Amino acid sequence: MSSRTANRIVVLLGGRSAEREVSLSSGRECVAALRSEGFEVIEIDAGPTLVDDLRAAKPDVVFNALHGRWGEDGCVQGILEWLQIPYTHSGVLASALAMDKERSKVAFADAGLPIVDSILVPREDAMADHPMRPPYVVKPNNEGSSVGVYLVHENANSPAKLDASMPDIVMVEKYVPGRELTVAVMGDRPLTVTDIYATGWYDYDAKYKEGGSTHVVPADLPKEIFDACMDYALRAHNVLGCRGISRTDFRWDEEYGLAGLVLLETNTQPGMTPTSLAPEQAAHNGISFGQLCRWLVEDASCSR
Q: Is residue 142 annotated as a catalytic residue, yes or no?
A: no
Which entry of 143, 271, 294, 304 is annotated as an active-site residue? 271
Which entry of 267, 276, 280, 294 is annotated as an active-site residue? 267
Q: Is residue 279 reached through a cis peptide bond, with omega within 30 degrees of 0 on the bond before it? A: no
Q: Is residue 81 annotated as a catalytic residue, yes or no?
A: no
Q: Is residue 117 annotated as a catalytic residue, yes or no?
A: no
3 state SS of 286: coil
Which entry of 29, 203, 265, 299 is annotated as an active-site residue? 265
Which entry of 26, 145, 146, 213 is annotated as an active-site residue? 145
Q: What torsion, rounded to 10 degrees, do the Cα atoms 229, 231, 232, 237 define?
A: 120
Which entry of 136, 204, 208, 232 is annotated as an active-site residue? 208
DSSP element (H, E) containing 265: strand 261-267
Q: Give the pairing type, strands 213-216 and 61-64.
A: unpaired
Which entry of 247, 251, 294, 304 is annotated as an active-site residue? 247
Helices (H) and strands (E) in the chain — how many of each? 10, 12
Per-position DSSP letters for 129-140, written without gaps between them = S-SSSSSEEEEE
CA distance 243 to 18: 24
Q: Give the pairing type, strands 189-198 and 261-267.
A: unpaired
Question: What is the DSSP-derived secondary structure letter of residue 156?
Answer: -
Which entry of 60, 249, 280, 299 is annotated as an active-site residue? 249
Is the distance from CB of 98 to CB of 90 less than 8 angstroms?
Answer: yes
Q: Is residue 267 annotated as a catalytic residue, yes or no?
A: yes
Handedness of CA 264, 266, 269, 270 (dihedral sign): positive
Sequence-separated (6 or more) residues with CB below 8 Å from residue 249: 180, 181, 182, 263, 264, 265, 266, 267
Which entry of 14, 19, 60, 173 is annotated as an active-site residue? 19
Is the distance from CB of 54 to CB of 64 less than 8 angstroms?
Answer: no
| Residues designated as active site | 19, 145, 208, 247, 249, 265, 267, 271
